[in-house]
A = this chain, B = another copy of it.
Amino acid sequence: MLRQSALVVLSGGQDSTTCLFWAKRHFKYVSALSFRYGQLHENEVEIAREICNEHHIPFSVIDIPFISGLASNSLTDSSVAMDSTKPADGLPNTFVPGRNLFFLSIAAVFAREHGIFDLVTGVGQTDFSGYPDCRDSFIRSLNVSLNLAMDEQFQIHTPLMWLTKAEVWELADELGVFDLVRERTLTCYRGIVGDGCGDCPACKLRREGLEQYLQKRNSKQRDEQF
């Protein structure tokens, strides 16, 4: 059964774009929200907008430049050299403190104004890399906080929470958007669309998942031929 309306927090990356089409499968009306938060690669917002326009999905952008001023990190400050692995003593400097907290909180207020109470986000524990705000426990806690903050019944949907990157590729394929996600989305921390730079942590995760999934798909196709 199709549910009514959902708002997808969309970055233009692999995960949130896959979630966009997951939402279109499960909800009658889907809209999307992106943020300009001082990220070095703001073209991800235009990528998100183009994908939405082509699929007739209402798309909005909210400017929240305060995020880049709050805390130093390599995604909003080009003078910070990017950690390519998780340091033993803490979080990688690609962590933007509070980012998902802000994205989902703003999305909730925005959605409520439009009579929407289902929010969709592409965060997942597999993608963890030490980012605490991608964990299921955080999302569930925030869901309660949002409900209490506004006296509403929001539902935050996290279709990718427990999927590996290979399974996220598989989901995109099932949803009929494998090529779109592969060629059009931007996951790379260096701002290169599609397969990306191949070297940053996000590209490595994405490529390893893709290779695993392609191997699985190929062996399945071989099995079917015999």
Contact = CB atoms under 8 A, between A and B. Distances in A.
B149 A101 contact: yes
What are the 6 closest A-B residue pairs judged by CB atoms, nearest first?
A138-B148, A132-B151, A98-B109, A141-B145, A133-B149, A101-B149
Given A102-B105, A105-B98, A105-B102, A110 B70 contact: yes
Interface in A80-123: 91, 97-98, 100-102, 105-106, 108-110, 112-113
Nearest to A112: B97
Interface stretch (A43-51, A58-66, A194-202, A208-216): A58-66
Nearest to A102: B105
Contact of A142 (B106, B133, B149): B149
Given A97-B113, A97-B149, 5 more contacts: A70-B109, A71-B109, A101-B146, A141-B144, A144-B145
A158 to B, nearest CB: 14
Contact of A70 (B66, B113, B133): B113
Given A71-B112, A112-B71, A144-B141, A132 B106 contact: no
A135 to B, nearest CB: 7
Nearest to A130: B151
Interface residues of A, number: 35
Given A105-B105, A108-B98, A148 B144 contact: no
Nearest to A139: B148
Given A63-B66, A69-B62, A135 B148 contact: yes
Contact of A138 (B98, B109, B145): B145
A141 B102 CA distance: 16
Contacts of A146: 101
Contacts of A153: none
Contact of A98 (B66, B91, B98, B106): B106
A53 interface: no
Contacts of A97: 109, 112-113, 149-150
Interface string A12-26: 000000000000000
A96 to B, nearest CB: 9
